[in-house]
Structure 1
Amino acid sequence: MASSWIHTLASSLLLTMMIIRTAIAKEDFKLRPFEIDLSDRVPRMIRQIQESHLPQTPVYTDTGTSAGITLSDLKSFKQQWLTSFDWDQEQISLNKFSHFTAEIEGLTVHFIHEKSGAADAIPLLLIHGWPGSFLEFIPLVDDLTKTAMTKSGKRVSFDVIVPSLPGFAFSSSPPIDWTIQDTTRVFNTLMTHVLAYEEYATFGTDWGSGVAYSLYDQWNTTVRAAHLDFLPFYPLSSAELAAENITLTGLEEFEEDVTITWSNEGTGYFSEQTTKPNTIGLALYDSPIGQLAWIGEKFMNWSDPDAGHAPSVLTRNEILRSVSLYYLTESFASSVVIYAQNPNGFSTVYSKALNDAPLLFSAFKYNPGFWPPALVAQVGNLVYYKNHGFGGHFPGLDNPPALLGDLREIGSYWEASK
């Protein structure tokens, strides 16, 4: 009896100590609920849009978006921004999610954290890139927390964590020498110390793929599955693929052509933001129309031509919501610095991650970066590869059902990874 009582007391004390330790840790990180409230900045944004002056006639032959956003598109966006877009309603919608901030290494890190409620839910860290934001994953969050079946017949649901990269939206700007590896370390701290997950999975796109891949590589005891739709390695040319004896299907040849076109004609922004981020950052800092032209063109050129039609939810209103978030949070200038901080963020040398955990990959037809399965297999333990004939660089918006289904396949491999 005494032994049982002592054991019970010891267990109770241990549990109390764990609770106290967790509480102290959370207090150290200043974990706080967060509510979006940018309404007081909206009138000035509207005035800026109203007072912006656009040319009456095209300044360059209208050849579609190959030369950048067209004057007609910009005028149409401006009209919609002023007449039917409603930030206050967007804000109400976004505040239905559970937002938080935490202080990690002197940075304020903003994130959404929605829990499944299932005891076996997989913690899933979703990481955006540029010119994206946490908004990219909003269409997926609720469905990911619901229990579903994988193709192999396993039940799966997720605790979903969607942070804003440092310098984006509500996350504070990092020091000037900040790198993707620094963000990797901070996000791992968020998952393992602030939120107390021992293991988790991650998905990344664009710059977020660099963070997710770095987590997969460097934090291989805690990251037990990774899913990407972009690689932090430069795509290969057709000649380089042929030299590696990689043959392509018809869809893959189309995707390779999209990548080659982007490489030849669509990288001006990349050079500017890598070498002169201050120039473009400060030039457009207080210009909502300027940010719309710069960012909106990427959303339009990197997405499926049928974006905005089912299954895509990448409407013009969604583009305006994204640009409004950049302008209202005053984060455009700090967001473009990620390019200058990581001039070698995309490598020309393919290397294998130090992780045997599952790696999954989703390809989308109009994504300006294409990697066939044989290339993806060179950088990790590739267990799943799915190519989609609809969608582009922002699949969480451009083809949410496809990305949702692919993410759920993490559940097919999760148990085996432990």
Structure 2
Amino acid sequence: MSRIVLRHQEKRMIWSASSNYNLQPFKIELEQNVPRMLQQVKETDLLGTFHLAGPDAGITLEQLQSLRSQWLSDFDWNKDQAILNKFHHFTAKIETLAIHFIHEKSDRPDAIPLILNHGWPGSFLEFVPVINDLTQAAKASTGQDVSFDVVVPSLPGFAFSSAPPLNWTIDDTARIFNTLMTKVLGYSEYAVHGTDWGSGVAYSLYDNFNTSVRATHLTMAPFLPATPVQLAEMNITLSAEEQFEEDEAMNWNAQGNGYFIEQTTKPNTLGLALYDNPVGSDPRAGTPPSVIDHNEILKEVSLYVLTKSFLTSIYIYWQNPNGFKSSYTKAHTDAPLLFSAFKYNIAFWPAALLQKVGNLVYYRNHDFGGHFAGLDNPPALISDLREIVVYWK
């Protein structure tokens, strides 16, 4: 059966299947909550003249004051909201949850369905810079034509997706996202991308739904990175570039993951307060091709504030204390696995480790970018995702 005929069948499935899931168009309308948010920001006491420790202790008071000043004077949520509403947003009722997602389709009949999974402290916003380019006709490195039908859901408890039950895991999220792709949208086969907690969702889809997931691309792996001692025991040697990334990852593990530990054990403590966590971006953030500037940070934080989803998003840590596994096990699939490493990500996995967990067919290391690749180096992420077509059998 040709791919074009399959796509026609999928379009019919979308109409018949979605009626069972209360599929509805969705529009972001948070402008009425903005004045109260800004008033809260204005009334916040930033400790007056108290002298805090330097940058080694976390975000500096000067950085926070600068962000606050821009939030009050230059930041325009309504302008950003209007831009976001140019995308096609939807909600669907899957099991007990209302799931929000963007669905942007290519005009090509052979487009590959692709679901992009974000993490924390991100949201669907971190993929906004790559969505339109991915839907456009382009070429992979082999010269093959490629474009995507792009689906970007909000994880349960994030933004406009409803909070899940307390016993909810990333495997549960994978299950309802497979339903979203196959039943609500009618794609019999699709590709997956994931980062941060979204990498756990993506890998669960890769491992557990191997008849529908035909390719997976990750920028993080849901396995604990190996220490230098463990790498040596496995006879894995690193290049100079990889050694830098390993050192950065070990430094983050020693000094940067305090929030991870607290949210895994005491989510209410931080979930009932605001936060800003730009850790894990390239030091060159804000310079092309990165789009991570103060406005982007404020937009992400504002989405959490305006949707009141700080606490419900943080529970993903408490619900998945072993979400990043210590044992490297092979997925139950031979579907291709692609991986992109970015120099300033918070963790690092050499190709030799990733070969232990899947059918690794593509591995590329980028010397620009960090944890939020869709914001920090959009062209690189777009280029690597397009390589999926090379292995799309």
Q: Same fold (TM over 0.5)?
A: yes
> 2:293 is matched with which residue: 307, 315, 323?
315
> Does 1:34 pair with 2:12?
no
C-alpha separation in 2, matches of 1:306 and 1:315? 10
- Classify the secondary structure of the residue corresponding to 1:172: coil
> 2:59 is matched with which residue: 69, 75, 89?
69
> Does 1:137 pair with 2:137?
no
> Does 1:405 pair with 2:383?
yes
In the TM superposition, what are the counterparts of 1:3-402 in structure 2 within 5 Å? Answer: 19=12, 23-62=15-54, 64=55, 66-282=56-272, 284=273, 291=274, 294=275, 296=276, 298-299=277-278, 301-402=279-380
| 47-56 or 72-81: bigger deviation | 47-56
Provide the alpha-carbon RMSD of the alignment.
Answer: 1.3
Q: TM-score, normalised by structure 1?
A: 0.90
User: Structure 2 counterpart of 1:203, which letter?
Assistant: H
Question: Unpaired runs of 5+ in structure 2?
Answer: 1-7
- Note the C-alpha offset of 1:61: 2.3
User: Structure 2 counterpart of 1:244, which letter?
Assistant: M
C-alpha separation in 2, matches of 1:58 and 1:201? 51
- Classify the secondary structure of the residue corresponding to 1:171: coil
- Note the C-alpha offset of 1:31: 0.2
Could you tell me whether the CA contact under 8 Å between 1:179 and 1:338 is conserved in 2? yes
Distance change in 2, residues 1:23/1:154 (3 Å): closer
Which protein is bigger by CA-based radius of gyration?
1
- Classify the secondary structure of the residue corresponding to 1:125: strand
Could you tell me whether the CA contact under 8 Å between 1:58 and 1:71 is conserved in 2? no
- Classify the secondary structure of the residue corresponding to 1:391: strand
C-alpha separation in 2, matches of 1:241 and 1:196? 43
Could you tell me whether the CA contact under 8 Å between 2:104 and 2:135 is conserved in 1? yes
Kindly provide the CA deviation profile for residues 299-320 of structure 1, in whole angstroms up to 9, marking residues without a partner as x.
2x21000100001001110000
Could you tell me whether the CA contact under 8 Å between 1:226 and 1:358 is conserved in 2? yes
- Note the C-alpha offset of 1:28: 1.5
C-alpha separation in 2, matches of 1:379 and 1:58? 49
C-alpha separation in 2, matches of 1:409 and 1:59? 50
Could you tell me whether the CA contact under 8 Å between 2:52 and 2:61 is conserved in 1? no
Question: Unpaired runs of 5+ in structure 1?
Answer: 1-14, 285-290
- Classify the secondary structure of the residue corresponding to 2:340: strand
Distance change in 2, residues 1:365/1:325 (3 Å): same
Query: How many residue pairs get matched?
Result: 385
User: Structure 1 counterpart of 2:349, which letter?
Assistant: W
| 26-35 or 162-171: bigger deviation | 26-35
C-alpha separation in 2, matches of 1:337 and 1:22? 32
User: Structure 2 counterpart of 1:33, which letter?
Assistant: P
Kindly provide the CA deviation profile for residues 350-400 of structure 1, in whole angstroms up to 9, marking residues without a partner as x.
001111111000000010110001001110000100000011000000000
C-alpha separation in 2, matches of 1:61 and 1:93? 39
- Classify the secondary structure of the residue corresponding to 1:28: coil
Could you tell me whether the CA contact under 8 Å between 1:36 and 1:95 is conserved in 2? yes
Q: TM-score, normalised by structure 2?
A: 0.96
User: Structure 2 counterpart of 1:362, which letter?
Assistant: S
Kindly provide the CA deviation profile for residues 71-94 of structure 1, in whole angstroms up to 9, marking residues without a partner as x.
000000000000100000000000
- Note the C-alpha offset of 1:67: 1.0
Could you tell me whether the CA contact under 8 Å between 2:285 and 2:376 is conserved in 1? yes
- Classify the secondary structure of the residue corresponding to 1:173: coil
C-alpha separation in 2, matches of 1:58 and 1:205? 37
- Note the C-alpha offset of 1:58: 4.7
- Note the C-alpha offset of 1:260: 0.4
Could you tell me whether the CA contact under 8 Å between 2:14 and 2:185 is conserved in 1? no
Distance change in 2, residues 1:330/1:359 (3 Å): same
> Hey, which bits of structure 1, 4+ residues long, moved more than 3 A?
21-24
Could you tell me whether the CA contact under 8 Å between 2:17 and 2:186 is conserved in 1? no
